[in-house]
Each structure stands twice: as C-alpha cells, then as structure tokens.
C-alpha cells in the first residue's frame, strides 16, 4: 500500500490551539516501506497516522456533497494513486490494522474472544488464538488466569440477593455472591498484551496491507516491548508499516524512512545514517536519549 500526501494541512474541528495540527505535509510512503515517525509531544505524529487510517480527512479529499468542509484543512491524500476518500470504509478497515495506546478490553467477552475478535471467522480456533497470544506476549497472561482464555474480566452481569440478611455473613450464598461480584483485575501492561494479540489475530485474514503502530507500549516493560516490536516486524511480508515512537535506536536504525516532526511540520526525513549526518532535530533527540546511557 502506497501513500502520497500533497500539501496536507489539518486542524481538529473546534480546536483552541493557535497552530494547525498538521501544516503543508508532503510525504510519499512507498509500498512495503517501514516508516518511523518521531518528534516531540504534540508535533502531529498521531494526527498523521489518523489521516492515513482515514479516521479524519483533509477537506479536499472529502466528497463535499456528503460532508460539510471543516475549516483550515486542505490537501490531497492518495492511496495507491487514488484519493483515500474513494475507497469504501469496509475495504479500508479490512486491509488496515492498527495498534495504538487504546487498550480496550471489550466487556462481556472472554479474554480469548477479545483476541479472536481480531479475525472473527477463527474466533473459536484455539491454536490460532494461542499463536496470536504468544506473539504478543499475552500467553503468560492467559496462563496466569484460573480459567485461561475463558476468563471474563467484566461479565456485565447483575446479581440480586433475596432473603439473605445483610448481617448474615455466614450465609453460604452471601459468600458465593461476593465471589461473583469481585471484578477480575489485570494490569495496564497485561491489557496491552491482550489488545496486541488481537492485532496479530487480524493478520490471519491475509488481507492486511497497512499496519499503523502508535506508541502501544507505554505500560509494557522493556523486554515485553522489544519482544512485541520484533514480532510485529516479523509480520512485515510486504505490508507498509508506520510506527510512531519516542524510543530511538533499534527501530529507527531498521527504518527505511524516518520522518521527524515538530509543531505540525516535517522538519527532516531520511534514514538513521542520513539524519545523524545532519545536525538537525533527529540527531538532537537521538543524542538526548543516548546520553542517558553514557557512563560518567
């Protein structure tokens, strides 16, 4: 999947900020390229990813008969040389996968189903579920639970008590009720692993041509993060991948293209070696992180 952005500017509807979230973005992402977006907080990385996923659109790219034009947005966004807006929502959702900071576990579904929803035709296929869980580091989470993949964190059930006196703590049904009401808690990092497994499950459709990864690892420990990122890159097989990260080093060194953003504009782009030769923003950010590991 190839993307071309031509003079794309974008402001969030109703935004109170003085500058647009993206300004005059010109960028080509080649088919099968691994692109890493870096830059300081608020520089527009997530907004750019949301435009590629068509969660928002620049106004020239909209069918104006259907949408009122939002202010301050303009430009052209092409996917495989056609306006992104010309593709059906369904075909886009089927060909794109996203892993973001959102770690929603759907209530009423078991952990296994939460993973399986990534590709519902195989939701009951235990081997595929376990494989997806393993690649995301979620296997240990399932193994830790008494009921494994059948664990439901929030069953969305209501329980009523009749004829059990409040003060009768010895009543056997009272104890059973308390057990039923107790929510099952998992940590933020464990939730992120389950959600990541859902993305690996989605790859089973065989239709994914674009993967967007937007800082999904804020709650993961360093080992889990490296394991997840390595496994995501193993799924590359011709997919175009755009990765948003604040961590420099391993990922940026492997990238075909690093796009460095600041205050809504692209300030530099190139490979790690090229950008380290420039005395620009990327080198500055890289050196700040690297200095934390220097010995004094």
Ligand X SMILES: Nc1ncnc2c1ncn2[C@@H]1O[C@H](COP(=O)(O)OP(=O)(O)OP(=O)(O)O)[C@@H](O)[C@H]1O
Residues forming the site for ligand X (CB under 6 A): 12, 15, 17, 21, 39, 41-47
Cα–Cα distance measured from residue 57 to residue 83, given in angstroms and rounded to the nearest whole number: 11
Listing DSSP states for 219-261 in one string gives TS-HHHHHHHHHHHHHT-TT-EEEEE-S--SHHHHH-SEEEEE
CB of 46 to ligand X, least distance (A): 3
In the complex, minimum distance from the CB of residue 41 to ligand X, in angstroms, rounded to a whole number: 3
Comparison of 5 and 21: residue with beta carbon closer to ligand X:
21
50 versus 272: smaller Cβ distance to ligand X? 50
Nearer to ligand X, 39 or 116 (CB): 39
Strand partners, 76: 6
Dihedral over Cα of 118, 120, 123, 128: its sign: negative
Residue listed under structure tokens 């193994």: 143
- Name the minimum Å distance from CB 260 to ligand X: 11
What tokens does 89 get? 């929502």
Pairing state between β 34-39 and 257-262: parallel
Q: Which is nearer to ligand X, 51 or 208 (CB)?
A: 51
- Give the nearest distance from C-beta 5 to ligand X in angstroms: 14
Nearer to ligand X, 133 or 260 (CB): 260
CB of 68 to ligand X, least distance (A): 17
In the complex with ligand X, which residue's Cβ is closer, 20 or 190?
20
* Cα 35 to chain centroid, rounded: 15
Burial class (CB in 10 A: 0-12, 13-18, 19+), 45: buried
Q: Parallel, antiparallel, or unpaired for β 74-79 and 240-244?
A: unpaired
State the nearest-atom distance from the C-beta of 100 to ligand X, in Å.
10
* Beta carbon of residue 102, minimum distance to ligand X (angstroms, whole number): 13
Nearest to 194 by CA among 93, 107, 98, 113: 113
Give the C-alpha separation, 198 to 118, whole Å.
5
Report the alpha-carbon angle 63-68-72, nearest 5.
100
Q: Which is nearer to ligand X, 41 or 296 (CB)?
A: 41
């Amino acid at each position: 999947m190839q993307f071309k952005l031509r003079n794309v500017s974008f402001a969030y509807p109703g935004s109170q900020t003085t500058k647009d979230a993206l300004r005059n973005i010109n960028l080509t992402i080649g088919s099968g390229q691994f692109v890493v977006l870096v830059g300081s907080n608020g520089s527009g990385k997530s907004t750019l990813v949301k435009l590629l996923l068509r969660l928002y659109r620049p106004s020239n790219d909209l069918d104006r008969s259907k949408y009122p034009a939002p202010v301050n947005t303009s430009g052209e966004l092409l996917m495989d040389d056609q306006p992104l807006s010309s593709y059906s929502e369904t075909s886009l959702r089927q060909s794109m996968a996203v892993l973001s900071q959102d770690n929603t576990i759907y209530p009423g579904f078991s952990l296994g189903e939460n993973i399986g929803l990534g590709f519902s035709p195989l939701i009951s296929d235990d081997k595929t579920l376990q494989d997806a869980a393993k690649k995301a580091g979620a296997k240990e989470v399932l193994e830790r639970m008494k009921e494994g993949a059948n664990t439901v964190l929030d069953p969305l059930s209501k329980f009523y008590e009749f004829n059990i006196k409040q003060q009768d703590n010895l009543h056997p049904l009272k104890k059973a009720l308390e057990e039923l009401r107790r929510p099952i808690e998992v940590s933020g990092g464990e939730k992120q692993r389950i959600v990541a497994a859902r993305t690996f499950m989605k790859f089973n459709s065989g239709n994914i041509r674009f993967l967007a990864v937007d800082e999904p690892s804020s709650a993961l420990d360093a080992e889990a993060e490296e394991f997840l990122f390595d496994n995501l890159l193993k799924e590359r097989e011709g997919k175009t991948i755009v990765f948003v990260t604040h961590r420099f080093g391993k990922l940026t060194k492997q990238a075909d293209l690093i796009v460095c953003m600041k205050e809504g504009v692209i300030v530099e782009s190139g490979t790690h070696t090229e950008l380290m030769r420039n005395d620009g923003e990327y080198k500055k950010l890289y050196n700040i992180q690297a200095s934390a590991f220097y010995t004094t």
